[in-house]
Chain A
Amino acid sequence: MNTRKTFRMDGRTIPFEDGQSIIDAALAAGEYIPHLCHNPEFTPHGSCRVCTVDVDGRMVSACTQPAAEGQQVVNNSDPVNHYRRRLLQMLFVEGNHVCPGCEKSGACQLQAVAYYTGMLAPHFTHFFPRREVDASHPDTVIDFNRCILCELCVRASRDVDGKNVFSISGRGIQSRLIINSNTGRLGDSDYDRADKAASVCPVGAILPKHQGYEVPIGERLYDQRPISVVGDVAQAKQGDNGDG
């Protein structure tokens, strides 16, 4: 029998299978690597770069980098987390993320990853862009102020729902989420609240209506314990227990 292939991350040996990314191998081993645009259910996108790790002295995104035998990966270190914090701060100032006024607060991955990396302030100058809110759909509201262009809704609608409701238009700082309908509004599209795309948004950009504060602030997923403990790592660990 072949011995399992492994790499080293923060002093721990992580097993992997051929073709597995660093982040998925780490997740399977119960190790958290911060991420926003990555969701193990979808093809990696590599756009947010928050999962950046140091691999043998080079900074790479762990969601797109295949694991390889003998790699030395630095994940949870001050320099790597400083780099992540700067990326998060840029995401915060590029949009309008008003946590005290957001229904997603406490269950928001952008906020939770920022807590994890110790972000206390935005550091940069705010853009305060002017963006719309689309409340045309009876079940869902889209607040473009909070979109971080992770393309999870794009991937979910295209790859799971088979609908192509969402897309990203424009380039660079002009990039924005657009909706595939005659009017460009969600209410006139094929979107349905049962779609996979309705439940993948890591921030408060795609929000279900009529349930805003059913779970009170203070009792939400990331309010008491960090995303490194209760995020998808917890689900991966639960899966392990179920299998074992």
Chain B
Amino acid sequence: MADKIRIATAPLAGCFGCHMSLLDIDERLLDLIEVAEFDCSPLNDFKRVGSADIGLIEGGVANTENVETLRDFRRHCRILVAVGACAVNGGIPAMRNQFDLRDCLEESYVNGIGVENPMIPNDPEIPLLLDKVHPIHEVVKIDYFLPGCPPSADSIWTFLTELIEGRPVSFPYTQIHYD
């Protein structure tokens, strides 16, 4: 067990599609767990990252909790990977950067259709939203980028196998796409 590669994963401001795509490697998961084991991940519900060889980050940075999680991962992962469009360039959540944050909140919680008891949530337990959504490479150093919305299971598999086997990572043409 001690020799196994440790993989940690985290969802930031994303839709969980990249994690679904990771699961979409299907029975190859059995091959993966021959050589790797999961540190903290929403897949096993461990909450804090221990010490990992590979950290996979889905989603961009949209709030203070995202910043903390991302920095924690950077401290504890030897190799940190931006997985998917949102981690790579902000993706769909970053489309809110076109608007003032207050306008977004008022649209959702004050003026939106069907809103009852309108008020902008301000419970101290709710992470504060950042003014803009950022790609993760703007916050910490990132070692590898895997684009796609989501990256296909095949491209995730190509990436993980080549990285774990210590080969230079290269993809067939159809495995790299931004959409």
Q: What is A's interface to B at a CB cutoff of 8 Å? A: 92, 96-102, 105-106, 111, 114-115, 118, 120-123, 125-126, 128, 130, 217, 223-226
Contact = CB atoms under 8 A, between A and B. Distances in A.
A98 B174 contact: no
A111 B176 CA distance: 11
A224 B135 CA distance: 27
A86 to B, nearest CB: 15
A92 B146 contact: no
Contacts of B132: 128
A125 B138 contact: yes
A115 B177 contact: yes
A115 B173 contact: yes
Given A106-B179, A126-B135, A128-B97, A224 B146 contact: no
Given A111-B178, A121-B145, A224-B174, A98 B91 contact: yes
Interface string B123-156: 0000000001011011000101111010000000
B36 interface: no
Contact of A122 (B89, B176, B177, B179): B89
B82 interface: yes
A122 B88 contact: yes
A contacts with B: majority SS: loop
25 contacts: A96-B95, A98-B89, A98-B92, A99-B179, A100-B178, A101-B95, A102-B179, A106-B177, A106-B179, A111-B178, A115-B176, A120-B147, A121-B82, A121-B89, A121-B147, A122-B88, A122-B137, A126-B90, A126-B94, A126-B134, A128-B94, A128-B98, A217-B179, A223-B174, A224-B173
A125 B139 CA distance: 10
A98 B178 CA distance: 9
Contacts of B137: 121-123
B98 A130 contact: yes
Contacts of A99: 85, 149, 177-179
Contacts of B177: 99, 106, 115, 223
